[in-house]
């Protein structure tokens, strides 16, 4: 019988936050698009992969990481460090600014199998220099930022600005945020915002300046002026969410504390998106740091599993304006897929202060990007 599909992947559990699929089944792919999903995904195919103990999701979307190939001091090759670990789409958090955007677009966005989008750094130097990106106030160049966005359209999702002391040095963080907001208003772009995290600037004053659609990253850090006050989610945080401000994890090396995440989730405050902030210092870590492990930590902190799956697939796709293309298993969407397996013997789930929680971890075993499998599949082949 001639092949009807290019690829069929079957799994013990297929989950789609948009269509409601949640159970055994599969996904059929034809011409790089999702043709069928669920029990109807069967029939002859050129390639069939079977994962009876796997979880099949839309390709993971990491809304805060550092894909780069020399353009950024934080950069990791997305096709080596992100794509094989289940991330098919990634947003760069400020790896390039106006001065090195052209090289970044050519060397990373256009040269990667991974789908890469940019939150362009307000700093015209991006993250190409040692030290903080805003240590030279003149680098916080709204005019250059606006011009670059206007010339490059949808590849640049928004503007990255981090007002922490390590980024701003001696300069006024309020001035830097004001310049970022001015550029964002002129271009109609959202901010990916790293707050001050210092007693010299109340979080409430920072949140009041943000607009619907702006994203506060590093939301579960344990430093000053964080999400919590005396163990409770701050009223100003609830008010910002009510206005449409979004909150993202941005785990990284210093921005995830179990005690903060557990308290917030226990009070009904889940992050809008779960992101890894995976960058160069994570390379070679054992156990490895990636988006699937970050998601597993949120589940360990009390986030319902289905909500965690949604916040690494459909929700970040919506935030990026790409939900018609990625983030679900809806018929006609790009065939970006991830198969995860639960590893009950994985290394400990550890936060950035060294605190651990028991439990296993979701780990990627197959990635499909535009209908093409990445690396070793690890499933049973027919």
Q: Is residue 374 part of a domain?
A: yes
Do 92 and 43 have their domain in common? no
Report the alpha-carbon angle 354-341-295, nearest 5: 40
The reply to whether 168 and 33 lie within a common domain is: no
Residue 375 lies in a domain: yes
Question: Which residue, of 289, 319, 349, is where some domain finishes?
Answer: 319
26/52 Cα distance (integer angstroms): 10
**Is 292 in the same domain as 356?**
no
CB count in 10 Å sphere of residue 219: 25
- How high is the pLDDT of residue 377? 44
Q: Determine, yes or no, domain membership for 324.
A: no
pLDDT tens across 344-379, in order?
Answer: 999 899 999 999 998 899 999 999 999 999 965 444
Instruction: Give the pLDDT of the chain (382 residues) as one tens digit per residue.
Output: 567 999 999 999 999 999 999 999 999 999 999 999 999 898 899 999 999 999 999 999 999 999 999 999 999 999 999 999 999 999 999 999 999 999 999 999 999 999 999 999 999 999 999 999 999 999 999 999 999 999 999 999 999 999 999 999 999 999 999 999 999 999 999 999 999 999 999 999 999 999 999 999 999 999 999 999 999 999 999 999 999 999 999 999 999 999 999 999 999 999 999 999 999 999 999 999 999 999 999 999 999 999 999 999 999 999 999 999 999 999 999 999 999 999 999 989 999 999 999 889 999 999 999 999 996 544 444 4
Q: What angle do CA 299, 85, 27 make, to 5 degrees?
A: 85
The answer to whether residue 326 sits within a structural domain is no
Domain boundary among 319, 341, 361: 319
Running DSSP on this structure, what letter comes out for residue 346?
A: P
| Domain CATH code at residue 45 | 2.30.40.10
The number of domains in the chain is 2
Cis peptide bond N-terminal to 271, omega within 30: no
325 found inside a domain:
no
- Residue 298, SS3 per DSSP: helix
289 DSSP assignment: P
If one counts every other C-beta atom within 10 angstroms of the C-beta of residue 235, the result is 10
Residue found under tokens 């702006």 = 214
Closest CA to 267 of 296, 238, 232, 300: 232
241 with 298, same domain: the answer is: yes
∠ Cα 115 67 102 (to 5°): 80
What gap in Å lies between CA 372 and CA 163, rounded to an integer? 40
| In a shared domain, residues 24 and 80 | no
Are 305 and 284 in a shared domain? yes
98 and 178 in a single domain? The answer is yes
d(CA 253, CA 322): 28
Q: Are residues 259 and 123 in the same domain?
A: yes
Instruction: Tell me: do 177 and 191 sit in the same domain.
Output: yes
pLDDT in tens, 118-131: 999 999 999 999 99
Range(s) of the domain holding residue 11 = 5-58+332-381
pLDDT of the residue at 316: 99
- Whether residue 175 lies inside any domain: the answer is yes
Quickly list H helices, the chain. Answer: 78-81, 101-104, 142-152, 165-168, 173-187, 203-209, 235-243, 258-266, 291-300, 305-310, 314-319
Q: For residue 377, is it within any domain?
A: yes
Q: Running DSSP on this structure, what letter comes out for residue 258?
A: H
| Spatial separation of the C-alpha atoms in residues 74 and 91, rounded to whole Å | 14
Boundary (domain end) residue, out of 275, 292, 319: 319
Return the CATH number at 182.
3.20.20.140
Residue 170 half-sphere exposure toward CB, CA atoms < 13 A = 1
- Do 129 and 222 lie in one domain? The reply is yes
Looking at the structure, tell me whether residues 287 and 344 fall in a common domain: no
- Together in a domain, 148 and 205: yes
What are residue 352's DSSP bridge partners? none
Query: Rounded to an integer, what distance in angstroms lies between the CA atom of residue 274 and that of residue 308?
Result: 8
């Amino acid at each position: 019988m001639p092949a009807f599909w290019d690829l069929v992947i079957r799994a013990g559990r297929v989950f789609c936050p948009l269509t409601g699929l949640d159970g055994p089944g599969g996904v059929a792919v034809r011409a790089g698009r999702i043709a069928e999903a669920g029990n109807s995904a069967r029939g002859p195919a050129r390639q069939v992969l079977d994962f009876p103990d796997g979880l099949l999701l839309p390709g993971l979307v990491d809304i805060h990481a550092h894909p780069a190939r020399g353009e950024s001091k934080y950069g990791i090759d997305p096709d080596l460090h992100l794509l094989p670990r289940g991330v098919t789409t990634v947003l760069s958090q400020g790896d390039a600014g106006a001065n090195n955007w052209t090289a970044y677009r050519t060397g990373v966005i256009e040269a990667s199998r991974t789908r890469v989008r940019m939150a362009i750094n307000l700093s015209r130097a991006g993250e190409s220099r040692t030290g903080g990106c805003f240590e030279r106030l003149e680098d916080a160049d709204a005019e250059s930022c606006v011009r670059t966005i206007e010339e490059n359209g949808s590849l640049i999702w928004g503007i990255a600005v981090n007002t922490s002391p390590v980024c701003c040095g001696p300069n006024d963080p309020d001035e830097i945020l004001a310049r970022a907001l001015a550029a964002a208003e002129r271009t109609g772009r959202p901010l990916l915002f790293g707050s001050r995290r210092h007693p010299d600037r109340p979080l409430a004053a920072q949140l009041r300046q943000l607009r619907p659609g702006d994203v506060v990253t590093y939301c579960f850090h344990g430093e000053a002026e964080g999400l919590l006050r005396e163990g409770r989610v701050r009223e100003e945080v609830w008010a910002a969410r009510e206005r449409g401000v979004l909150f993202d994890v941005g785990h990284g090396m210093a921005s995830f504390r179990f005690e903060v995440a557990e308290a917030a989730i226990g009070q009904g405050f889940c992050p809008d998106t779960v992101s890894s902030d995976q960058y160069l210092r994570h390379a070679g870590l054992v156990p490895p740091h990636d988006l699937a492990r970050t998601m597993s930590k949120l589940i360990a902190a009390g986030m319902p599993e289905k909500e965690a799956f949604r916040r690494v697939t459909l929700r970040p796709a919506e935030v990026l304006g790409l939900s018609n293309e990625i983030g679900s298993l809806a018929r006609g969407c790009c065939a970006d897929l991830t198969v995860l397996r639960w590893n009950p013997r994985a290394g400990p789930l550890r936060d950035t202060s060294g605190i651990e929680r028991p439990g296993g971890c979701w780990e990627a075993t197959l990635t499909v990007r535009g209908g093409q499998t990445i690396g070793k599949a690890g499933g049973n082949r027919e």
